Amino acid sequence: MEKDNIDILEVKSTESKEKSLCFISPCLNEEENLEVLYNRLTSVRNDLHKEHNLESRIFFIDDGSTDQTWDIIQKLAKKDPTVQGLKLSRNFGKENALLAGYENAPESDFYLTLDADLQDDPSVVGKLVSKAFEGYQIVYAQRASRLDAAWYIFCTQIFYKIIQMGSKVKFPENVSDFYLITEKVRKAFLQMQESVRYTRGLVFYTGFSRAGVQYNRPDRNAGTSKFNFVKLTIFMLDAVTSFTSLPVHLISIAGLLLSIFSFILGVFYVLFSLFTKNAIPGWASMMSVSLFLGSVQILMVGVLAEYISRMSQELKSRPKYFVDEKL
């Protein structure tokens, strides 16, 4: 009788074993958003505890903010021991801030990255966690619709197509850095120590089981976006060059086709001037051909240079960030 009771107790204790989740949020000048985010997460965390017996912590990474961000993180950490913070010595960019987050986060069963500006809607967190409890190792939030400008949507479509064509991993579209991963995925992610980091690409590259949850991405709560056209272009180039060599192959193919084309054209011109009396040198057509070839060459050299510059960055293999303070 007594033994039966112990068995039941044991079964119960494994069923309701407390699991842990760590929120990781990179922040660059987010003073207006941090407290709002903290309050929104607090109610989400209470629900998670009730529903899944999930204990959680928040880990803020201050990526070189010049406003009150770090003071606010310190204040929150003082008030609430489940809040931790890491201050980087300067701005290292979101991808490195995320890496710092994964490397320094308290060990947990799950990690959930989300932007500090509340665009990664905390009310979606519950759905992500439920999927994780179903056994998926990567659970990502996926934008159901995009409200961005038409040119931006067009560029991202091309971007996804290029990455997709050139790499063997299938990347889901319209996903930002709003996903949950398990400890196993984090360990795999941290094994990839390259300098040029396209975080979400690396996460999906690990190939562990995954599921998506649809959501509507809201606007920023306050402040302005930290990404401009140039930063976004570099980000996309980083992503493309770190996941596919297709542009280089396209260059070789284009180079081959163009040389065949120019050879035929050359033969044609020679024959034309040999067999006709009116071979007037067409200045305009010559100019356009040479301009075209010139610009194609610059473009090709440019693509090669993109890969070479990233190779030199990898060769230096410098630390990707420096920690100033840890709470």
The piece of 23-31, 41-49, 132-140, 289-297 that touches ligand UDP (CB under 6 A) is 23-31
| Residue nearest to ligand UDP as judged by C-beta position | 225
The piece of 109-117, 195-203, 268-276, 287-295 that touches ligand UDP (CB under 6 A) is 109-117
- The binding track of 79-98 with respect to ligand UDP, each residue x by CB under 6 A or -, is ------------x-xx--x-
Residues of span 239-268 touching ligand UDP by CB under 6 A: none
Q: Pick between residue 26 and residue 247 the one whose CB is nearest to ligand UDP.
A: 26
Q: Pick between residue 30 and residue 238 the one whose CB is nearest to ligand UDP.
A: 30
27 sits near ligand UDP (criterion: CB under 6 A): yes
- The binding track of 212-241 with respect to ligand UDP, each residue x by CB under 6 A or -, is -------------xxx--------------
SS (H, E, C) the chain: CHHHHHHHHHHHHHHCCCEEEEEEEEECCCCCCHHHHHHHHHHHHHHHHHHHCEEEEEEEEECCCCCCHHHHHHHHHHHCCCEEEEEECCCCCHHHHHHHHHHHCCCCCEEEECCCCCCCCHHHHHHHHHHHHCCCCEEEEEECCCCCCHHHHHHHHHHHHHHHHHCCCCCCCCEEEEEEEEHHHHHHHHHCCCCCCCHHHHHHHCCCCEEEEEECCCCCCCCCCCCCHHHHHHHHHHHHHHHCCHHHHHHHHHHHHHHHHHHHHHHHHHHHHHHCCCCCCCHHHHHHHHHHHHHHHHHHHHHHHHHHHHHHHHHHCCCCCCEEEEC
28 binds, among Mg ion, ligand UDP, none (CB under 5 to 8 A by kind): ligand UDP
Binding site for Mg ion (CB under 5 A): 115, 117, 119
63 binds, among Mg ion, ligand UDP, none (CB under 5 to 8 A by kind): ligand UDP
Q: Pick between residue 60 and residue 136 the one whose CB is nearest to ligand UDP.
A: 60
Phi, psi of 149 (to 5 degrees): -65, 155
Q: How far is the CB of 19 from ligand UDP (least distance, A)?
A: 26
- The binding track of 160-179 with respect to ligand UDP, each residue x by CB under 6 A or -, is --------------------
Q: Which residues bind ligand UDP (CB under 6 A)?
A: 26-28, 30, 63, 91, 93-94, 97, 115-117, 119, 225-227
